[in-house]
Amino acid sequence: MPWGASPPGRGIYRAVTAHWPGGADGAVLEAAADCFRDAGAGGVEWEDGRPAAAPFTDIPLDRAGTPFVRAYFPDDAAWPRIREQVRARLAALGATVRITTVREEDWAAAWKRYYRPLPLPGGYWVVPAWEDLPAEAAPERVIRLDPGMAFGTGTHPTTRMCLERLLEKELAGRQVMDLGAGSGVLALAAALRGARVLAVEPDPVALAVLEANLARNPAGRAVTAAAGTWAGQRDRVPQWDGVVANIIWEVLAPLLEDFPTRLAPGGWLLLSGILATREAELAERAQAAGLQPVFRRQEGDWLAVEFRRR
């Protein structure tokens, strides 16, 4: 399972990687990490070679591999001394050492080069906040988005399937919750279709991104951002006309029994973030909760499913 830190700042760095092709125990990895810290590394990345026991995801974070420990050092006057110091200590730990040069970028900005306007059915668009509007895009059908560190650019299959389904709906005057709102893209899509939306997000970093995206979109005036979870926000209105939740299965599954208690008669529940391997369990839980399936879409390994309260 990996633990890590990025290079500590912008410039040129030396990445020093100690690895053990034959394997290494935790004590050896800790000793290597201490070696790097003693030499002045600001952060240490390591991999113990074991698969992650990922309690919050459907997909293992990694597979078994070669254990390693890595650290980054500035390529400055102290580097030759540090290099010899860490080489000697790592050799004593039985490590093979590899040194590479890393040119640090502003990664928070670099990824933007690959994020482009996304056309959606019905003439809707998700457009990065720093991009010009496409000539064919009507401003009233555009979601301006800077996802920052929050999930939800619109390009991931789970997000896109939810977007396309929401944009098919007539939601004028409806009360909708976006649970695990991330960047706010789904909340804004529901608002564009006329809904009053409560966008619920537990992560404070994502919540700040959400609030900024609401502020940059006229449709954001119909969306209220709220910190928290389903349990803390479910009673904000007497009943919800719809709930959209693009969240991981381990969070979603325990809520399936409770969702119908807060849905209006005929209210809908649009779910994604679910792998197809969970479909049978999802169907069983939904049926037990009195939810009727009305929509299913699959892209690759991912599902989007909509239910209605009976």
Task: Assign residue 96 the CATH number of its domain.
Answer: 3.30.70.120
What is the mean pLDDT of the segment spanning 106-116? Answer: 68
Length of the chain: 310
Amino acid identity for residue 64 in this structure: A
Name the domain boundary from 83, 104, 125. 104
Please give the Cα distance from 207 to 196 (Å, whole number): 18
Name the domain boundary from 104, 136, 151. 104
At residue 153, the pLDDT reads: 81
Long-range interactions of 56-59: CB distance < 8 A, separation 24+:
56/248, 56/250, 56/251, 57/248, 57/250, 58/248, 58/249, 58/250, 58/274, 58/275, 58/277, 58/278, 59/275
The C-alpha R_g of the chain, in whole angstroms, comes to 24
Please give the Cα distance from 110 to 96 (Å, whole number): 32
∠ Cα 16 17 20 (to 5°): 150
Lowest-confidence pick of 53-57, 223-227, 269-273 = 53-57
Please give the Cα distance from 91 to 95 (Å, whole number): 5
> Could you identify the residue written with the tokens 């009507």?
138
Residues 149 and 254 in one domain: yes
Task: Report the domain count for the chain.
Answer: 2
Query: pLDDT confidence of 5, banded at 50, 70, 90?
Result: very low
Please, are residues 17 and 100 in contact by the beta-carbon 8 Å criterion? yes
- Pairing type for strands 11-19 and 96-104 reads antiparallel
What pLDDT digit, counting tens, does each position of 206-264 carry? Answer: 999 999 999 999 999 999 999 999 999 999 999 999 999 999 999 999 999 999 999 99
Looking at every residue in the chain, the average pLDDT score rounds to 88
Residues 128 and 259 in one domain: yes
Residues 223 and 276 in one domain: yes
Query: pLDDT confidence of 53, banded at 50, 70, 90?
Result: very low
Residues 207 and 166 in one domain: yes
Query: pLDDT confidence of 10, banded at 50, 70, 90?
Result: low
> Is residue 189 classed exposed, middle or buried when 0-12, 13-18 and 19+ CB atoms within 10 A define those classes?
buried
Residues 48 and 175 in one domain: no
Residue that wins the pLDDT comparison between 44 and 223: 223
At residue 56, the pLDDT reads: 39
CA nearest neighbour of 212 among 163, 271, 268, 148 = 148
Residues 158 and 252 in one domain: yes
Give the domain CATH number at 233.
3.40.50.150
Q: With 70 as the cut, is the pLDDT of residue 3 above it?
A: no
What pLDDT digit, counting tens, does each position of 59-95 carry? Answer: 444 444 678 999 999 889 999 999 999 999 999 999 9
CA nearest neighbour of 57 among 309, 231, 257, 301 = 301
Residues 73 and 198 in one domain: no
Name the domain boundary from 80, 104, 128. 104
At residue 2, the pLDDT reads: 39
Residues 285 and 148 in one domain: yes
At residue 226, the pLDDT reads: 98
Residues 98 and 124 in one domain: no
Please, are residues 154 and 132 in contact by the beta-carbon 8 Å criterion? no
Residue that wins the pLDDT comparison between 4 and 146: 146
Q: How much of the chain is in helix, strand and coil states, percent to nearest 5?
A: 35, 30, 35
What's the whole-model pTM score?
0.71
Domain residues for the domain of 72 are 2-104
Other CB atoms within 10 A of residue 14 CB: 19
